Structure 1
């Protein structure tokens, strides 16, 4: 693992991290706006490059790309508020994005990070977190520790929650998520697994019309309506 986790944004955008690195970087990504911006910009650049005219790669290109990748040190994103529309991507970001182009020759597409024995899995929660129209609520710290952040994509009609370091509950109690409508009514949206301290999950139910999300402590198995005051209440309208 890199000593500077910010430097992994390019490799993460290209799905070039191993499982342990990806998991650690995703935990970092939840709380780092700069890295989320960097990852989004790299993926946008890679998508644009994917529309370039297809051509047969010259002989030896794959070997040269892999050799260069072994010695080029990626730069971390600048940890500062930036205007993405005006920000100029650093040269290393363009190099990383260029590596995402499919080199098509003889009908075979090749990715420089291809690891056929280790397919990359994009979860449903990943799709919500990284959708172009995703809104991110503020992060709420629970009274006894741990935090909750909710993401919503109107285009996907889905919301996802990211929980970190949730304290254990007594036997017979669970954390339950809710989606709140414009009248303030709460609809059950899923239960955080017992003993799960840090995780991400897609909330049940349509989210595009919701104005917020909440978390309560409920009896095991969950409830049809909240039976206690929310330990976290997050607003989409302020996101």
Structure 2
């Protein structure tokens, strides 16, 4: 028997595959067979609709799972829903709608939600060992700080504080890291600037009121020649004022 045959679902209990169908854990052949089953099983159609509504409410960004997850999901779905649709055995006078009630008619939504929450939590746990360094989604700041072409340019101030500009030309961004920098005066703020090759200063954001800060500059730093720090009125200025704290050259 092939590995694929070992992971194919038991079609004698197709009712247990509604969850796997909704989370797209069936292959093309299995999906076609299950959809054929759905056409003759109103109970499973109702459950699939309920599962889809709950899954939509818990939706997350799609991820590419490892190959082993398919077999684990198929096995797990049967433990989450161990019973096929339950058919009430009433008198012959009871109409078909009363005799054929889905097992989840009263408690189904709660059980479905609980099952999907369990699946979501387990998937989150499973995702962690799949991630590699190449798959890690870095923030723009982290991308600059970890870039292969990172360059550091430090400016020391008389009071012992410092500001370091980290530039990545490949990322086209720059980051300012301050160490023990005094706060701006009341009613003022530190504003950052990128100097373009023509010598013009372009606004690049405001610094937080913190002694130690790491700030990603706004704008394209791929051709910037310097980073400026000025003291401006709260809210910043469109052009740098006369109160210049530093102009840090970032060219080799």
Bin of the TM-score, shorter chain as denominator length = 0.3 to 0.5
Higher relative contact order (CA 8 A, sep 6+): 1
Q: Which has the higher helix share?
A: 2
Tell me the TM-score normalised to structure 2 length: 0.45
Q: Flag the structure with larger Rg.
A: 2
